[in-house]
Structure 1
Protein backbone atom coordinates (compact mmCIF):
# COMPACT_ATOMS: atom_id res chain seq x y z
CA UNK A 1 0.00 0.00 0.00
CA UNK A 2 1.22 3.50 -0.80
CA UNK A 3 0.50 6.05 1.93
CA UNK A 4 1.15 9.78 1.85
CA UNK A 5 1.53 11.82 5.02
CA UNK A 6 1.14 15.50 5.80
CA UNK A 7 2.05 16.30 9.41
CA UNK A 8 2.27 19.89 10.64
CA UNK A 9 3.31 20.74 14.20
CA UNK A 10 3.12 24.39 15.24
CA UNK A 11 4.23 25.96 18.52
CA UNK A 12 2.89 29.39 19.44
CA UNK A 13 4.62 31.13 22.34
CA UNK A 14 2.79 33.68 24.50
CA UNK A 15 6.11 35.44 25.12
CA UNK A 16 8.87 35.15 22.47
CA UNK A 17 11.55 32.63 23.44
CA UNK A 18 15.26 33.37 23.14
CA UNK A 19 16.24 29.94 21.84
CA UNK A 20 14.69 26.58 20.96
CA UNK A 21 16.48 23.22 20.83
CA UNK A 22 14.78 20.00 19.73
CA UNK A 23 15.55 16.37 19.02
CA UNK A 24 13.52 14.84 16.18
CA UNK A 25 12.63 11.29 15.24
CA UNK A 26 10.43 12.15 12.28
CA UNK A 27 11.82 9.85 9.59
CA UNK A 28 10.19 6.41 9.04
CA UNK A 29 12.08 3.36 10.27
CA UNK A 30 14.32 1.48 7.85
CA UNK A 31 12.84 -2.01 7.63
CA UNK A 32 11.20 -4.47 5.22
CA UNK A 33 7.74 -3.39 6.37
CA UNK A 34 8.04 -0.03 4.65
CA UNK A 35 9.98 1.73 1.91
CA UNK A 36 10.31 5.50 1.84
CA UNK A 37 9.57 6.91 -1.61
CA UNK A 38 9.85 10.58 -0.66
CA UNK A 39 10.16 12.24 2.75
CA UNK A 40 10.90 15.80 3.82
CA UNK A 41 11.08 17.57 7.17
CA UNK A 42 10.95 21.33 6.65
CA UNK A 43 11.53 24.06 9.25
CA UNK A 44 12.07 27.73 8.55
CA UNK A 45 14.92 29.44 10.45
CA UNK A 46 16.13 26.18 11.98
CA UNK A 47 19.78 25.14 12.08
CA UNK A 48 20.20 21.40 11.67
CA UNK A 49 22.77 19.81 13.93
CA UNK A 50 23.89 16.23 14.54
CA UNK A 51 22.02 13.43 12.81
CA UNK A 52 22.56 9.75 13.53
CA UNK A 53 20.93 6.33 13.77
CA UNK A 54 20.68 5.39 17.43
CA UNK A 55 21.08 1.98 19.06
CA UNK A 56 17.38 1.23 18.62
CA UNK A 57 17.74 1.76 14.87
CA UNK A 58 15.86 5.06 14.78
CA UNK A 59 17.02 8.16 12.87
CA UNK A 60 17.56 11.11 15.22
CA UNK A 61 18.32 14.72 14.28
CA UNK A 62 18.89 17.78 16.45
CA UNK A 63 17.78 21.27 15.45
CA UNK A 64 18.08 24.69 17.05
CA UNK A 65 16.53 28.10 16.42
CA UNK A 66 17.76 31.44 17.70
CA UNK A 67 15.07 33.89 18.85
CA UNK A 68 13.30 35.98 19.57
CA UNK A 69 10.73 33.46 18.38
CA UNK A 70 6.97 33.73 18.82
CA UNK A 71 6.13 30.65 16.71
CA UNK A 72 7.83 27.58 15.27
CA UNK A 73 6.44 25.18 12.68
CA UNK A 74 7.61 21.76 11.53
CA UNK A 75 6.14 20.38 8.32
CA UNK A 76 6.58 16.70 7.48
CA UNK A 77 5.47 15.40 4.08
CA UNK A 78 6.20 12.16 2.33
CA UNK A 79 5.10 8.96 0.68
CA UNK A 80 5.80 5.45 1.94
CA UNK A 81 5.09 2.04 0.44
CA UNK A 82 4.11 -0.43 3.15
CA UNK A 83 3.95 -4.23 3.34
CA UNK A 84 1.88 -6.37 5.70
CA UNK A 85 3.95 -8.84 7.73
CA UNK A 86 1.23 -9.61 10.27
CA UNK A 87 2.78 -7.26 12.81
CA UNK A 88 6.28 -8.74 12.69
CA UNK A 89 9.04 -6.13 12.39
CA UNK A 90 11.25 -7.39 9.57
CA UNK A 91 14.89 -6.52 8.83
CA UNK A 92 15.09 -3.68 11.34
CA UNK A 93 18.72 -3.32 12.39
CA UNK A 94 19.32 -2.34 16.00
CA UNK A 95 21.92 -2.88 18.69
CA UNK A 96 19.88 -2.67 21.90
CA UNK A 97 19.18 -6.19 23.24
CA UNK A 98 15.52 -7.13 23.83
CA UNK A 99 16.24 -7.71 27.54
CA UNK A 100 16.75 -3.94 27.95
CA UNK A 101 13.01 -3.55 27.45
CA UNK A 102 12.14 -5.52 30.56
CA UNK A 103 12.86 -2.46 32.71
CA UNK A 104 9.83 -0.29 33.56
CA UNK A 105 9.85 3.50 33.65
CA UNK A 106 7.86 5.87 35.85
CA UNK A 107 5.06 5.76 33.26
CA UNK A 108 4.95 1.97 32.98
CA UNK A 109 5.71 1.13 36.61
CA UNK A 110 3.62 -1.89 37.72
CA UNK A 111 0.92 -1.42 40.35
CA UNK A 112 -0.72 -4.21 42.30
CA UNK A 113 -3.85 -4.19 40.08
CA UNK A 114 -1.61 -4.52 37.02
CA UNK A 115 0.26 -7.41 38.65
CA UNK A 116 -3.00 -9.16 39.43
CA UNK A 117 -4.27 -8.65 35.86
CA UNK A 118 -1.07 -10.12 34.39
CA UNK A 119 -1.19 -13.13 36.72
CA UNK A 120 -4.87 -13.74 36.04
CA UNK A 121 -4.38 -13.54 32.28
CA UNK A 122 -1.42 -15.91 32.20
CA UNK A 123 -2.76 -18.41 34.72
CA UNK A 124 -4.84 -20.05 32.00
CA UNK A 125 -1.98 -19.95 29.49
CA UNK A 126 0.74 -21.82 31.34
CA UNK A 127 2.97 -23.60 28.85
CA UNK A 128 1.47 -21.75 25.89
CA UNK A 129 3.68 -19.95 23.32
CA UNK A 130 4.75 -16.37 24.02
CA UNK A 131 2.83 -15.16 20.98
CA UNK A 132 -0.45 -16.47 22.40
CA UNK A 133 0.30 -14.82 25.74
CA UNK A 134 1.07 -11.52 23.99
CA UNK A 135 -2.25 -11.57 22.14
CA UNK A 136 -4.07 -12.30 25.40
CA UNK A 137 -2.39 -9.38 27.16
CA UNK A 138 -3.32 -7.04 24.31
CA UNK A 139 -6.94 -8.20 24.52
CA UNK A 140 -7.04 -7.66 28.28
CA UNK A 141 -5.63 -4.16 27.81
CA UNK A 142 -8.42 -3.23 25.41
CA UNK A 143 -11.04 -4.73 27.73
CA UNK A 144 -9.77 -3.03 30.87
CA UNK A 145 -8.89 0.40 29.38
CA UNK A 146 -11.62 1.74 27.14
CA UNK A 147 -10.55 4.08 24.36
CA UNK A 148 -11.94 7.45 25.41
CA UNK A 149 -10.21 10.74 24.52
CA UNK A 150 -10.14 13.59 27.00
CA UNK A 151 -10.04 11.47 30.15
CA UNK A 152 -6.25 11.39 30.68
CA UNK A 153 -3.22 13.68 30.33
CA UNK A 154 0.08 13.27 28.53
CA UNK A 155 1.74 12.44 31.89
CA UNK A 156 -0.85 9.82 32.98
CA UNK A 157 0.82 6.56 34.03
CA UNK A 158 -0.15 3.01 33.12
CA UNK A 159 -1.31 2.39 36.70
CA UNK A 160 -3.50 5.50 36.69
CA UNK A 161 -5.09 4.70 33.32
CA UNK A 162 -5.68 1.09 34.39
CA UNK A 163 -7.42 2.21 37.57
CA UNK A 164 -9.48 4.76 35.64
CA UNK A 165 -10.38 2.22 32.96
CA UNK A 166 -10.24 4.86 30.25
CA UNK A 167 -7.62 6.46 28.04
CA UNK A 168 -6.19 6.88 24.56
CA UNK A 169 -3.67 4.89 22.55
CA UNK A 170 -0.80 6.24 24.69
CA UNK A 171 -2.42 4.93 27.86
CA UNK A 172 -3.34 1.57 26.37
CA UNK A 173 0.20 1.16 25.07
CA UNK A 174 1.68 1.94 28.49
CA UNK A 175 -0.66 -0.58 30.11
CA UNK A 176 0.24 -3.29 27.59
CA UNK A 177 3.94 -2.64 28.12
CA UNK A 178 3.50 -2.94 31.89
CA UNK A 179 1.52 -6.19 31.59
CA UNK A 180 4.05 -7.68 29.17
CA UNK A 181 7.06 -6.81 31.33
CA UNK A 182 5.30 -8.28 34.37
CA UNK A 183 4.95 -11.45 32.31
CA UNK A 184 8.65 -11.54 31.44
CA UNK A 185 8.08 -10.35 27.86
CA UNK A 186 10.24 -7.43 26.63
CA UNK A 187 8.00 -4.59 25.43
CA UNK A 188 8.49 -1.10 24.02
CA UNK A 189 6.52 1.94 22.89
CA UNK A 190 6.24 2.70 19.16
CA UNK A 191 5.11 5.90 17.43
CA UNK A 192 3.96 6.36 13.87
CA UNK A 193 0.97 6.94 11.63
CA UNK A 194 -2.16 4.95 10.91
CA UNK A 195 -4.28 5.24 7.78
CA UNK A 196 -7.96 4.66 8.41
CA UNK A 197 -10.81 5.33 6.02
CA UNK A 198 -13.18 4.19 8.74
CA UNK A 199 -14.10 6.03 11.92
CA UNK A 200 -14.24 2.63 13.66
CA UNK A 201 -10.45 2.74 13.98
CA UNK A 202 -9.00 4.67 16.90
CA UNK A 203 -6.23 7.09 15.99
CA UNK A 204 -4.78 10.40 17.06
CA UNK A 205 -2.32 12.97 15.77
CA UNK A 206 0.55 10.56 16.32
CA UNK A 207 -0.60 6.98 16.72
CA UNK A 208 1.06 4.63 19.20
CA UNK A 209 1.27 0.90 19.71
CA UNK A 210 3.48 -1.60 21.51
CA UNK A 211 6.04 -4.07 20.24
CA UNK A 212 6.57 -7.26 22.25
CA UNK A 213 9.55 -9.54 21.73
CA UNK A 214 8.58 -13.09 20.77
CA UNK A 215 11.12 -15.88 20.45
CA UNK A 216 11.73 -17.05 16.86
CA UNK A 217 9.74 -14.09 15.51
CA UNK A 218 11.47 -11.03 16.98
CA UNK A 219 9.56 -7.83 17.64
CA UNK A 220 5.81 -8.08 17.00
CA UNK A 221 3.49 -5.07 17.08
CA UNK A 222 0.22 -4.97 19.01
CA UNK A 223 -2.25 -2.10 18.65
CA UNK A 224 -4.55 -2.57 21.65
CA UNK A 225 -6.62 0.46 20.60
CA UNK A 226 -7.78 -1.30 17.45
CA UNK A 227 -7.32 -4.93 18.48
CA UNK A 228 -4.91 -5.72 15.64
CA UNK A 229 -1.26 -6.26 14.85
CA UNK A 230 0.07 -3.41 12.67
CA UNK A 231 -0.37 -4.12 8.96
CA UNK A 232 0.18 -2.11 5.79
CA UNK A 233 -1.95 0.77 7.08
CA UNK A 234 0.78 1.65 9.59
CA UNK A 235 3.95 3.70 9.18
CA UNK A 236 6.53 3.19 11.92
CA UNK A 237 8.65 6.15 13.05
CA UNK A 238 10.53 5.05 16.16
CA UNK A 239 10.46 3.39 19.55
CA UNK A 240 11.38 3.90 23.18
CA UNK A 241 10.71 2.76 26.73
CA UNK A 242 7.54 4.87 26.98
CA UNK A 243 5.75 7.79 25.30
CA UNK A 244 8.23 10.37 26.53
CA UNK A 245 11.25 8.35 25.46
CA UNK A 246 9.75 7.55 22.03
CA UNK A 247 8.35 11.01 21.34
CA UNK A 248 8.96 12.11 17.71
CA UNK A 249 9.70 15.64 18.96
CA UNK A 250 11.44 16.47 22.22
CA UNK A 251 12.97 19.77 23.19
CA UNK A 252 13.45 22.75 25.43
CA UNK A 253 13.22 26.52 25.16
CA UNK A 254 15.12 29.38 26.78
CA UNK A 255 12.98 32.25 28.02
CA UNK A 256 9.40 32.85 27.03
CA UNK A 257 6.20 31.96 28.85
CA UNK A 258 3.30 29.67 28.01
CA UNK A 259 2.95 27.86 24.71
CA UNK A 260 0.14 26.46 22.58
CA UNK A 261 0.57 23.39 20.42
CA UNK A 262 -1.36 22.76 17.21
CA UNK A 263 -0.94 19.42 15.41
CA UNK A 264 -2.53 18.52 12.08
CA UNK A 265 -2.05 15.12 10.47
CA UNK A 266 -3.50 13.75 7.25
CA UNK A 267 -2.76 10.24 5.97
CA UNK A 268 -3.93 9.33 2.47
CA UNK A 269 -3.93 6.21 0.33
CA UNK A 270 -4.52 6.48 -3.40
CA UNK A 271 -6.05 9.93 -2.98
CA UNK A 272 -8.34 8.78 -0.16
CA UNK A 273 -7.85 10.81 3.02
CA UNK A 274 -7.72 8.91 6.28
CA UNK A 275 -9.29 9.85 9.59
CA UNK A 276 -6.08 10.50 11.49
CA UNK A 277 -6.08 14.22 12.13
CA UNK A 278 -6.31 16.64 15.02
Structure 2
Protein backbone atom coordinates (compact mmCIF):
# COMPACT_ATOMS: atom_id res chain seq x y z
CA UNK A 1 0.00 0.00 0.00
CA UNK A 2 1.21 3.51 -0.80
CA UNK A 3 0.39 5.95 2.01
CA UNK A 4 0.67 9.73 1.95
CA UNK A 5 1.02 11.63 5.23
CA UNK A 6 0.59 15.32 5.99
CA UNK A 7 1.21 16.23 9.63
CA UNK A 8 1.23 19.80 10.95
CA UNK A 9 1.87 20.68 14.60
CA UNK A 10 1.38 24.30 15.66
CA UNK A 11 2.39 25.79 19.01
CA UNK A 12 0.99 29.26 19.79
CA UNK A 13 2.59 31.06 22.75
CA UNK A 14 0.94 33.75 24.85
CA UNK A 15 4.25 35.58 25.21
CA UNK A 16 7.39 35.83 23.06
CA UNK A 17 9.73 32.91 23.64
CA UNK A 18 13.06 33.84 25.22
CA UNK A 19 14.67 30.45 24.66
CA UNK A 20 13.36 27.12 23.46
CA UNK A 21 14.54 23.71 22.33
CA UNK A 22 12.54 20.84 20.86
CA UNK A 23 13.36 17.22 20.08
CA UNK A 24 11.42 15.86 17.11
CA UNK A 25 10.84 12.20 16.32
CA UNK A 26 8.69 12.67 13.25
CA UNK A 27 10.56 10.98 10.41
CA UNK A 28 9.86 7.29 9.79
CA UNK A 29 12.61 5.04 8.54
CA UNK A 30 12.77 2.24 6.04
CA UNK A 31 12.48 -0.99 7.99
CA UNK A 32 10.56 -4.28 7.99
CA UNK A 33 7.25 -3.77 6.23
CA UNK A 34 7.79 -0.19 5.11
CA UNK A 35 9.89 1.83 2.66
CA UNK A 36 10.10 5.61 2.98
CA UNK A 37 9.95 7.00 -0.56
CA UNK A 38 10.10 10.68 0.36
CA UNK A 39 9.82 12.76 3.52
CA UNK A 40 10.14 16.51 4.06
CA UNK A 41 9.97 18.63 7.19
CA UNK A 42 9.40 22.41 7.23
CA UNK A 43 9.89 24.66 10.25
CA UNK A 44 8.39 28.07 10.97
CA UNK A 45 9.58 29.97 14.04
CA UNK A 46 12.36 27.46 14.64
CA UNK A 47 15.51 26.18 12.97
CA UNK A 48 17.25 22.83 12.84
CA UNK A 49 20.38 22.43 14.95
CA UNK A 50 21.30 18.74 14.67
CA UNK A 51 20.02 15.38 13.49
CA UNK A 52 20.88 11.88 14.64
CA UNK A 53 19.53 8.40 15.33
CA UNK A 54 18.90 7.93 19.06
CA UNK A 55 19.56 4.81 21.14
CA UNK A 56 16.34 3.26 19.82
CA UNK A 57 17.39 4.09 16.25
CA UNK A 58 14.66 6.70 15.92
CA UNK A 59 15.41 9.50 13.46
CA UNK A 60 15.70 12.53 15.74
CA UNK A 61 16.01 16.25 15.01
CA UNK A 62 16.96 18.93 17.52
CA UNK A 63 15.56 22.37 16.75
CA UNK A 64 15.84 25.72 18.51
CA UNK A 65 12.94 28.15 18.75
CA UNK A 66 13.75 31.56 17.35
CA UNK A 67 14.00 34.19 20.14
CA UNK A 68 10.83 36.27 20.26
CA UNK A 69 8.75 33.71 18.37
CA UNK A 70 5.04 33.66 19.20
CA UNK A 71 4.36 30.59 17.09
CA UNK A 72 6.18 27.44 15.99
CA UNK A 73 4.89 25.29 13.14
CA UNK A 74 6.32 21.90 12.24
CA UNK A 75 5.00 20.42 8.99
CA UNK A 76 5.90 16.95 7.74
CA UNK A 77 4.86 15.46 4.41
CA UNK A 78 5.85 12.19 2.84
CA UNK A 79 5.03 8.96 1.12
CA UNK A 80 5.65 5.48 2.51
CA UNK A 81 5.14 2.11 0.83
CA UNK A 82 3.93 -0.50 3.30
CA UNK A 83 3.20 -4.22 3.34
CA UNK A 84 1.37 -6.61 5.64
CA UNK A 85 3.79 -8.79 7.62
CA UNK A 86 1.18 -9.92 10.16
CA UNK A 87 2.61 -7.42 12.61
CA UNK A 88 6.09 -8.98 12.59
CA UNK A 89 9.00 -6.56 12.43
CA UNK A 90 11.61 -9.24 13.05
CA UNK A 91 14.82 -9.72 14.96
CA UNK A 92 15.99 -7.29 17.62
CA UNK A 93 18.62 -4.76 16.61
CA UNK A 94 20.01 -1.42 17.66
CA UNK A 95 22.04 -0.15 20.57
CA UNK A 96 19.69 -1.14 23.40
CA UNK A 97 19.99 -4.74 24.63
CA UNK A 98 16.81 -6.79 24.69
CA UNK A 99 16.80 -7.08 28.48
CA UNK A 100 16.28 -3.31 28.76
CA UNK A 101 12.73 -3.84 27.49
CA UNK A 102 11.97 -5.86 30.61
CA UNK A 103 12.56 -2.92 32.93
CA UNK A 104 9.53 -0.99 34.22
CA UNK A 105 9.31 2.74 33.55
CA UNK A 106 7.37 5.45 35.33
CA UNK A 107 4.48 4.97 32.90
CA UNK A 108 4.53 1.16 32.91
CA UNK A 109 5.31 0.30 36.55
CA UNK A 110 3.14 -2.70 37.46
CA UNK A 111 0.96 -2.64 40.55
CA UNK A 112 -2.09 -4.48 41.84
CA UNK A 113 -4.23 -3.46 38.85
CA UNK A 114 -1.79 -4.92 36.34
CA UNK A 115 -1.44 -8.10 38.40
CA UNK A 116 -5.22 -8.45 38.48
CA UNK A 117 -5.30 -7.93 34.71
CA UNK A 118 -2.88 -10.81 34.20
CA UNK A 119 -4.86 -13.05 36.54
CA UNK A 120 -8.01 -12.38 34.51
CA UNK A 121 -6.52 -13.83 31.32
CA UNK A 122 -7.59 -17.44 30.83
CA UNK A 123 -4.95 -18.59 28.34
CA UNK A 124 -1.95 -20.90 28.22
CA UNK A 125 1.12 -18.83 29.08
CA UNK A 126 3.40 -21.38 27.42
CA UNK A 127 1.87 -20.27 24.10
CA UNK A 128 3.36 -16.79 24.18
CA UNK A 129 1.69 -15.50 21.02
CA UNK A 130 -1.73 -16.87 21.95
CA UNK A 131 -1.45 -15.51 25.48
CA UNK A 132 -0.52 -12.05 24.21
CA UNK A 133 -3.57 -11.93 21.96
CA UNK A 134 -5.72 -12.88 24.95
CA UNK A 135 -3.99 -10.25 27.08
CA UNK A 136 -4.65 -7.63 24.39
CA UNK A 137 -8.36 -8.48 24.49
CA UNK A 138 -8.37 -8.26 28.29
CA UNK A 139 -6.82 -4.78 28.25
CA UNK A 140 -9.39 -3.55 25.72
CA UNK A 141 -12.20 -5.00 27.84
CA UNK A 142 -10.98 -3.30 31.01
CA UNK A 143 -9.97 0.08 29.55
CA UNK A 144 -12.73 1.65 27.46
CA UNK A 145 -11.51 3.86 24.62
CA UNK A 146 -12.50 7.39 25.67
CA UNK A 147 -10.65 10.30 24.03
CA UNK A 148 -9.62 13.01 26.47
CA UNK A 149 -9.99 10.80 29.54
CA UNK A 150 -6.21 10.66 30.14
CA UNK A 151 -3.06 12.56 29.22
CA UNK A 152 0.58 11.86 28.37
CA UNK A 153 1.47 11.37 32.04
CA UNK A 154 -1.21 8.78 32.82
CA UNK A 155 0.29 5.49 33.97
CA UNK A 156 -0.84 1.96 33.16
CA UNK A 157 -2.11 1.53 36.72
CA UNK A 158 -4.08 4.78 36.58
CA UNK A 159 -5.70 3.89 33.26
CA UNK A 160 -6.75 0.48 34.57
CA UNK A 161 -8.12 2.07 37.75
CA UNK A 162 -10.11 4.62 35.74
CA UNK A 163 -11.31 1.99 33.28
CA UNK A 164 -10.89 4.35 30.35
CA UNK A 165 -8.17 5.82 28.17
CA UNK A 166 -6.78 5.95 24.65
CA UNK A 167 -4.33 3.98 22.52
CA UNK A 168 -1.36 5.10 24.60
CA UNK A 169 -2.99 3.77 27.77
CA UNK A 170 -3.90 0.46 26.11
CA UNK A 171 -0.30 0.03 25.02
CA UNK A 172 1.12 0.89 28.45
CA UNK A 173 -1.15 -1.56 30.28
CA UNK A 174 -0.28 -4.28 27.77
CA UNK A 175 3.44 -3.51 28.04
CA UNK A 176 3.36 -3.45 31.84
CA UNK A 177 1.69 -6.86 32.05
CA UNK A 178 4.02 -8.41 29.50
CA UNK A 179 7.14 -7.22 31.31
CA UNK A 180 5.85 -8.62 34.57
CA UNK A 181 5.81 -12.00 32.80
CA UNK A 182 9.40 -11.53 31.52
CA UNK A 183 8.36 -10.73 27.95
CA UNK A 184 10.36 -7.86 26.42
CA UNK A 185 7.91 -5.13 25.39
CA UNK A 186 8.19 -1.74 23.71
CA UNK A 187 5.98 1.18 22.69
CA UNK A 188 5.59 2.25 19.05
CA UNK A 189 4.29 5.58 17.82
CA UNK A 190 3.27 6.22 14.24
CA UNK A 191 0.42 6.64 11.82
CA UNK A 192 -2.64 4.60 10.91
CA UNK A 193 -4.76 5.00 7.81
CA UNK A 194 -8.30 4.84 9.15
CA UNK A 195 -10.90 3.10 7.00
CA UNK A 196 -13.54 5.76 7.58
CA UNK A 197 -11.57 9.02 7.40
CA UNK A 198 -8.50 10.79 6.09
CA UNK A 199 -8.19 13.62 8.63
CA UNK A 200 -7.33 12.61 12.20
CA UNK A 201 -6.87 14.32 15.54
CA UNK A 202 -3.55 12.69 16.42
CA UNK A 203 -1.08 9.97 15.59
CA UNK A 204 -1.44 6.44 16.84
CA UNK A 205 0.32 4.23 19.37
CA UNK A 206 0.62 0.48 19.86
CA UNK A 207 2.92 -2.09 21.45
CA UNK A 208 5.41 -4.69 20.29
CA UNK A 209 6.35 -7.86 22.15
CA UNK A 210 9.44 -9.95 21.52
CA UNK A 211 8.20 -13.49 20.82
CA UNK A 212 10.62 -16.44 20.58
CA UNK A 213 11.01 -17.59 16.98
CA UNK A 214 9.36 -14.47 15.55
CA UNK A 215 11.15 -11.48 17.03
CA UNK A 216 9.20 -8.27 17.54
CA UNK A 217 5.45 -8.59 16.92
CA UNK A 218 3.01 -5.69 17.00
CA UNK A 219 -0.27 -5.55 18.93
CA UNK A 220 -2.71 -2.69 18.45
CA UNK A 221 -4.88 -3.19 21.51
CA UNK A 222 -7.25 -0.35 20.62
CA UNK A 223 -8.17 -1.89 17.27
CA UNK A 224 -7.80 -5.57 18.25
CA UNK A 225 -5.37 -6.27 15.43
CA UNK A 226 -1.70 -6.77 14.67
CA UNK A 227 -0.47 -3.86 12.54
CA UNK A 228 -0.90 -4.38 8.79
CA UNK A 229 -0.20 -2.33 5.66
CA UNK A 230 -2.26 0.60 7.00
CA UNK A 231 0.35 1.35 9.69
CA UNK A 232 3.52 3.44 9.51
CA UNK A 233 6.08 3.01 12.31
CA UNK A 234 7.79 6.30 13.22
CA UNK A 235 9.45 5.86 16.63
CA UNK A 236 9.76 3.26 19.37
CA UNK A 237 10.93 3.19 22.98
CA UNK A 238 10.35 1.72 26.39
CA UNK A 239 7.17 3.80 26.69
CA UNK A 240 5.46 6.80 25.14
CA UNK A 241 7.95 9.23 26.69
CA UNK A 242 10.80 7.67 24.69
CA UNK A 243 8.84 7.69 21.43
CA UNK A 244 6.93 10.98 21.75
CA UNK A 245 6.85 12.90 18.46
CA UNK A 246 7.73 16.26 20.02
CA UNK A 247 9.23 17.09 23.41
CA UNK A 248 10.97 20.22 24.61
CA UNK A 249 11.02 23.43 26.61
CA UNK A 250 10.12 27.05 25.90
CA UNK A 251 11.23 29.71 28.40
CA UNK A 252 9.06 32.79 28.78
CA UNK A 253 6.33 31.44 26.50
CA UNK A 254 3.49 31.72 28.99
CA UNK A 255 0.36 29.74 28.23
CA UNK A 256 0.79 27.51 25.18
CA UNK A 257 -1.89 26.31 22.78
CA UNK A 258 -1.32 23.22 20.65
CA UNK A 259 -3.09 22.50 17.36
CA UNK A 260 -2.52 19.36 15.28
CA UNK A 261 -3.69 18.55 11.79
CA UNK A 262 -2.98 15.09 10.47
CA UNK A 263 -4.12 13.31 7.33
CA UNK A 264 -3.18 9.79 6.26
CA UNK A 265 -4.48 8.58 2.92
CA UNK A 266 -3.87 5.89 0.37
CA UNK A 267 -2.10 7.20 -2.72
CA UNK A 268 -4.05 5.31 -5.37
CA UNK A 269 -2.62 7.29 -8.29
CA UNK A 270 0.97 6.65 -7.22
CA UNK A 271 0.16 3.01 -6.61
CA UNK A 272 -1.26 2.59 -10.11
CA UNK A 273 1.76 4.31 -11.63
CA UNK A 274 4.11 2.02 -9.71
CA UNK A 275 2.21 -1.09 -10.81
CA UNK A 276 2.16 0.08 -14.43
CA UNK A 277 5.91 0.76 -14.45
CA UNK A 278 6.60 -2.70 -12.97
CA UNK A 279 4.27 -4.62 -15.26
CA UNK A 280 1.56 -4.93 -12.65
CA UNK A 281 3.78 -5.95 -9.73
CA UNK A 282 4.31 -3.53 -6.87
CA UNK A 283 8.02 -3.32 -6.11
1:10 Cα shift? 0.1
Number of residue pairs matched? 267
Which residue of the partner structure matches residue 125 of structure 1? 124
Does residue 232 (structure 1) correspond to residue 229 (structure 2)? The answer is: yes
160-169 or 23-32: bigger deviation: 23-32
Which residue of the partner structure matches residue 10 of structure 2? 10
Q: Is the 8 A contact 2:90 2:217 kept in 1?
A: no
Q: CA deviation digits over 1:118-146, x for unaligned, max 9?
A: 1342x6414x3211121111111111111
Normalized against structure 2, the TM-score is what? 0.89
Q: Provide the secondary structure at the position in 2 that maps to 1:69.
A: coil
Which residue of the partner structure matches residue 149 of structure 1? 147
- Rounded to whole Å, the distance in 2 between the matches of 1:244 and 1:83 is 27
The runs of at least 4 consecutive aligned structure 1 residues that moved more than 2 Å come to 44-47, 90-93
1:204 Cα shift? 4.8
Which residue of the partner structure matches residue 101 of structure 1? 101
Does residue 269 (structure 1) correspond to residue 277 (structure 2)? The answer is: no
Does residue 179 (structure 1) correspond to residue 162 (structure 2)? The answer is: no
86-95 or 233-242: bigger deviation: 86-95
Q: CA RMSD in A?
A: 1.7
Distance 1:91 1:33, change over 3 A: farther
Q: Provide the secondary structure at the position in 2 that maps to 1:178.
A: helix
Which residue of the partner structure matches residue 251 of structure 2? 254
Q: CA deviation digits over 1:249-273, x for unaligned, max 9?
A: 111112121100000100010369x
Distance 1:145 1:264, change over 3 A: same
Which residue of the partner structure matches residue 165 of structure 2? 167
- Rounded to whole Å, the distance in 2 between the matches of 1:93 and 1:181 is 19
Q: Is the 8 A contact 1:26 1:237 kept in 2?
A: yes
Unaligned runs of 5+ in 1: 273-278
Q: Is the 8 A contact 1:146 1:167 kept in 2?
A: yes
- Rounded to whole Å, the distance in 2 between the matches of 1:197 and 1:264 is 18
Unaligned runs of 5+ in 2: 270-283
Which residue of the partner structure matches residue 110 of structure 1? 110
1:55 Cα shift? 2.5
Q: CA deviation digits over 1:84-112, x for unaligned, max 9?
A: 10001147742212210111111111111
Instruction: Give the alignment of 1:66-85 within 5 angstroms.
Output: 66-85=66-85
Normalized against structure 1, the TM-score is what? 0.91
Q: Provide the secondary structure at the position in 1 that maps to 2:66.
A: strand
Which residue of the partner structure matches residue 19 of structure 1? 19
1:189 to 177, 187, 196: 187
